[in-house]
Amino acid sequence: MNAIDRIPYQCISATQAAELLRQEASLAVFDVRDLVSYRQGHIEGAAQLSEERVLAWVKRLPKEQPVLIYCYHGNASQTYAQMFSDFRFQRVFSVDGGYEKLVAALA
């Protein structure tokens, strides 16, 4: 599989992300906001992810495991989603609208 064949990440709505969180028991969830924001509140089960930690996670997780990434508004999460796609993860999702919209969709 070359770079052209890889499966791209998907941008999904907060509502779709909330549904994924409810249905996918094996979903790996990452919060790419800064540590202070993460500590103030995050989605249950989400790990805080920084650029320095990406390599450790992509080595640890199976490529088949679905990955959901959120940030403040849905921009930075796309950058991180691209990184997971580049490492050949098969199901990678970036949340459009970010953390606040995802919290609202889960309420």
pLDDT in tens, 33-71: 999 999 999 999 999 999 999 999 999 999 999 999 999
pTM of the model: 0.93
Question: Reading across the β-sheet that carries 92-95, which strands appear in turn?
Answer: 10-12, 92-95, 67-70, 28-31, 47-48
Residues 6+ apart with CB under 8 A from 51: none
pLDDT of residue 88 exceeding 90, the answer is: yes
11 is catalytic: no
pLDDT of residue 4 exceeding 60, the answer is: no
d(C-alpha 2, C-alpha 105), whole Å: 36
d(C-alpha 11, C-alpha 101), whole Å: 14
Q: Quick one: how many helices (H) and strands (E) in the chain?
A: 5, 5
Catalytic residue among 27, 71, 83, 102: 71
Residue 2: band (very low, low, confident or very high) from pLDDT cuts 50, 70, 90? very low
